[in-house]
Amino acid sequence: MDTEKARALISRCGQSRRATCIRMSTETPILRLVGPIIVVAIAMGASAASWGDTQVYKTLDAQGNVVYSDKAPTSNAQKTNVQVHQPKAADLARMEQQKAALQAVDDQRVSEAIADKANQAQKQKQVGDKQARCQQARNYFLNVKDANRLFQRDAQGNRVYLPDDQLDAKRAEARKAMDAACGP
């Protein structure tokens, strides 16, 4: 997941300097793991002077994401008390490792999706090119097959009509070319 996507999923907002909130999308695995800890970190930042109980409001936004804030956005916001503890360095390091591992998996998935899309586009182009070659060969064969007389131009630009044996050879050659272009 790139930085812009992360910023879109985790956004800070509020009407005053003290107001802080976070949106957690249930579609993002990293936020499901780290989300509660982020809420605690926000509560710590909102009340850094006093450790202990902090009141946080929990609401749902229009997209169905859970939103936590220290200011009540609406009168029906659910109030929740959060016990704030300073996280241990080992826990923070473990979370960073998990975050890096999930980021690597997401990056790999995106790379594979891009490669698959490029392969599909290339295959579609090849199919389209084959269909165009087939149609061109089919049209040439039908023209040669239906022609009573075929000619070639000589060095002076005069028409030289082909005898029947050469006409049959041209038709057979056009048929082979069509079969080769339209075959499996």
Q: Which residues contact 77 (CB under 8 A, 6 or more apart)?
A: 57, 58, 59, 69
Amino acid 42 reads I
Chain-centroid distance, C-alpha 159: 59
Separation between Cα atoms, residue 159 and residue 83, nearest integer Å: 98
SS3 (DSSP) at 101: helix
Where are the domains positioned within the chain? 3-96, 124-182
CB 182 within 8 A of CB 138: yes
CB 59 within 8 A of CB 13: no
For the entire predicted model, the pTM comes to 0.43
Running along the chain, 184 residues long, what does each successive block of 10 average in pLDDT? 42 39 46 54 51 72 84 76 80 93 95 96 95 94 89 91 90 93 83
